[in-house]
């Protein structure tokens, strides 16, 4: 199985919706509101993809200045492809694209709480959030 990784600047929002729906993140992202999804893709600063013969099977969507901070907002891997190293590679490439001066920060979905420490990330205790209002 050969997975092709790339930084993509014009990901098709329909492909993004599709891969979200092929993992548990689909229930936690606004897949029923395509115009909001389109703004998420449009406004992202870094999108790293994993494709199997053209088909999107993994994505890491981040907001970053490529200098100081990178907020990894959505990491999704098609259920049929999970535990094959794709998530780890998407994060590695995200960090690589941002450079060593950049901190990578994320909010874990319930299904991935044990994943991030497993791949070497440190838990932070100083995170705060205003929940979205709608």
Ligand X SMILES: CC(C)(COP(=O)(O)OP(=O)(O)OC[C@H]1O[C@@H](n2cnc3c(N)ncnc32)[C@H](O)[C@@H]1OP(=O)(O)O)[C@@H](O)C(=O)NCCC(=O)NCCS
The correct pick among 85, 96, 99, 103 for binding ligand X (CB under 6 A) is 85
> Is 88 near ligand X (CB under 6 A)?
yes
87 binding ligand X? (CB under 6 A) = yes
Is residue 77 at the binding interface for ligand X, with CB under 6 A as the rule? yes
Residue 132 engages ligand X in binding (rule: CB under 6 A): no
Contact 71, 62 (CB under 8 A): yes
At 56, is the secondary structure helix, strand, or coil? Answer: strand
Q: Tell me which residue has its CB nearest to ligand X.
A: 87
CA gap 62, 99 in Å, rounded = 14
> In the complex with ligand X, which residue's Cβ is closer, 78 or 102?
78
- Name the DSSP letter for residue 125: S
The answer to whether 94 touches 46, Cβ cutoff 8 Å, is yes
- Shortest approach of ligand X to residue 23 CB, angstroms? 4
**Which positions ≥6 away from 17 have C-beta within 8 Å?**
31, 34, 37
- Tokens at residue 80, please? 């049929």
Quick one: which of 2, 35, 53, 83 contacts ligand X (CB under 6 A)?
83
User: What whole-number distance in Å separates Cα of residue 36 and Cα of residue 44?
Assistant: 12
User: Using CB under 6 A as the criterion, what x/- string covers residues 3-22 for binding ligand X?
Assistant: --------------------
Residues that bind ligand X (CB under 6 A): 23-25, 75-77, 82-88, 106, 108-109, 111-112, 114-115, 118-119
């Amino acid at each position: 199985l050969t997975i092709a990784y790339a930084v993509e600047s014009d990901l098709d929002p329909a492909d993004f919706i599709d891969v979200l729906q092929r993992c548990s993140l689909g229930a936690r992202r606004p897949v029923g509101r395509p115009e909001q999804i389109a703004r998420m893709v449009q406004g992202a600063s870094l999108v790293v993809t994993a494709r199997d013969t053209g088909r999107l099977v993994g994505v890491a969507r981040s907001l970053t200045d490529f200098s100081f901070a990178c907020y990894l907002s959505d990491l999704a891997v098609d259920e049929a492809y999970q535990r094959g190293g794709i998530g780890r590679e998407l994060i590695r490439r995200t960090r690589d694209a941002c450079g060593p001066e950049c901190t990578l920060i994320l909010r874990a979905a319930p299904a991935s709480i044990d994943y991030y420490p497993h791949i070497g990330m440190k838990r932070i205790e100083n995170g705060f959030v205003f929940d979205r209002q709608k």
